[in-house]
Chain A
Amino acid sequence: MQNLALETVAPVVESVPVPKITAKDVNVHYGEKHAIKDVSVDIPAKGVMSFIGPSGCGKSTFLRCINRMNDTIPICRVTGDLRIDGRDIYEPGLDPVLLRARVGMVFQKPNPFPKSIYENVAYGPRLHGLASNKVEMDELVEWALRRAGLFEEVKDRLKDSGTSLSGGQQQRLCIARAISVRPEVILMDEPCSALDPIATAKIEELIDELRANFTIVIVTHSMQQAARVSQRTAFFHLGKVIEEGVTDQIFMNPRHELTRNYITGRFG
């Protein structure tokens, strides 16, 4: 296993039709540790791309580069070219707060604010001045909760605390919070790993609906989930992208032996 070449194989479809995000030779260092090595990948607009790979392979680290979440870690250094709609994500003049309004994020564990359900969703739009009065804000909150498939379940208790919801509902609340500022990209870092199968199915259904309007990047440890929800998949191993391509091809006929071993459960 250790002897297998780590060279990336070229994707079958050479280029993504309309890339929303492009990465070229991206490297990430945590102090001495070289966590991401020369990653080049195109993420298509309006679709779902999944990142798979064993723990510690760098998929979450790379995901966090896309909305500069790694900026908060002092020893973290990102180099290379990472662009959204052609604009450099790491250009000095770019405000990370505004970037994060365009590139939202949903985490592994649901992390609603210790505020009401309504306030959880209204917080972002208020910060960015997206609603000029109460009526507009009500509409925006309802829109986001509806898109997240949560509105019907919580419409009578919008003043209740977000933390009073079930795990699955909390995660959908976090998705509502993420989409409330109308981002273009949603990053999801193992969004279903803490959820039961029913809540997972609801999130997957939601992802399938959202992909018509958003660019979604999902990190998941569930191969079946990646196969179900995404149209493109990248396989990470030891900080590199080993293989990237159309999801059906990756799961039915991967070309790199490391990918094959990983997705068929032959990883040592």
Chain B
Amino acid sequence: MITVKNLDKSYGSHEVLKDINCTIHDGEVIVIIGPSGSGKSTFLRCLNLLEKPTKGSIVVDDQEITDKKVNIDKVREKMGMVFQQFNLFPHKTVIQNICHAPTRVKKMNKAEAEKLGMELLGKVGLQDKRDVYPVTLSGGQQQRIAIARALAMQPEAMLFDEPTSALDPEMVSEVLAVIKQLAKEGMTMVIVTHEMGFAREVGDRILFMDHSQIVEENTPEKLFTHPQHARTKNFLSKILH
């Protein structure tokens, strides 16, 4: 379980997050939507401390992760992250990309890591790409590998930062299918996305963010059909045609 309390983030005088409060239960899929610059990605990145919160607390499994004494690398092991730009390691093959962290960080033995790697490649449907370099793969394939790489650390939760925003339209569905599968398996996930249909289908709860704040949160059904807040209505009217 992840509990966020009174989270603030600012760059100098520029406030990016204002008083964010949120609880993410195990097995829950939270989808964050909202206009560009509303702080969605920053919030997500605060959850594994890629961004350092200015104020407030984030508790992961009873551990206050903003505490200076906490080994942040250990916290990150528990939270997989998938980026908009995939960020695969170009100098490593697909299987090396996946097995690197498990073997070097978790000290898993190589054979075991490769077995796990192949299982995960099977899961994302790319077992035949095991020994190629990322540059030879399409965006959709790279993103599926990036998901497998994050899963290889056997995280307790997964964070997705606009996972389909850099993809050609015809590749979006193959990536979304993998994420939907994870949701079915009960993975705890926080997803920032602009894919509203997907948000509605996969989310247990939708957070709408605007101007550095969580404006509204509700089940997808209620949020999309009966938005309470004027800003939510305005946003949805612009993107749902």
A binds B: no
